[in-house]
Amino acid sequence: MEQEFETYKLKVNRLFEQPRFIILSQEKDMDERKKTEMTLNIIKAVVVRFIKTILIKNKNIILCTSNDEITNYVKIGLLRYLALEDKANRELIEKNIEGLKDILKEINRYNTDEEAM
C-alpha cells in the first residue's frame, strides 16, 4: 500500500506543479504569495489524504466524500485565483483537473480490484 501511495502522491504533485506556477506568478505581493502558496498546499494535502484514505482499505473508515466533490474542491480552489478573462491559463488548469479525475478513477479501480481478490 505504501508504494502505491507514494506513486499516486508523486502523480498528484506533478499535476499541481503547473497550476501552482501559474497562480503564484500572478501574485506580486510577497505576503499574499505566501498565503496563496499555503492555500495551494492545503488543497494538495486534502487530495493526498483522500487518496491515502482510499488506499488504506480499512473497513472502519466511512468515506463521506466522492471523487466529484474532491475534484470540484480543487477546481474552485485553483480557478478562484485566475481572472475569467484568463482563458488560456484556466484551460491549462482544467486539463490538470481532468488528470486528477483520471487518477482518482484509477485508485477506485485499483481498490475495487484488490477487494475482489
Tens digit of each residue's pLDDT (9 = 90 or more) over 35-44: 999 999 999 9
- 9: in domain: yes
Q: Are 76 and 59 in contact (CB under 8 A)?
A: no
- 86: in domain: yes
Q: Identify the helix (H) or strand (E) that includes residue 106.
A: helix 87-116
Domain count across the chain: 1
- 41: in domain: yes
What confidence tens digit (pLDDT) does each residue in 46-104 have?
999 999 988 887 667 777 889 999 999 999 999 999 999 999 999 999 999 999 999 99
Indicate the pTM of the whole model: 0.85
- 26: in domain: yes
Q: Are 100 and 15 in contact (CB under 8 A)?
A: yes
- 117: in domain: no
- 69: in domain: yes
What's the domain range around 17?
Answer: 2-112
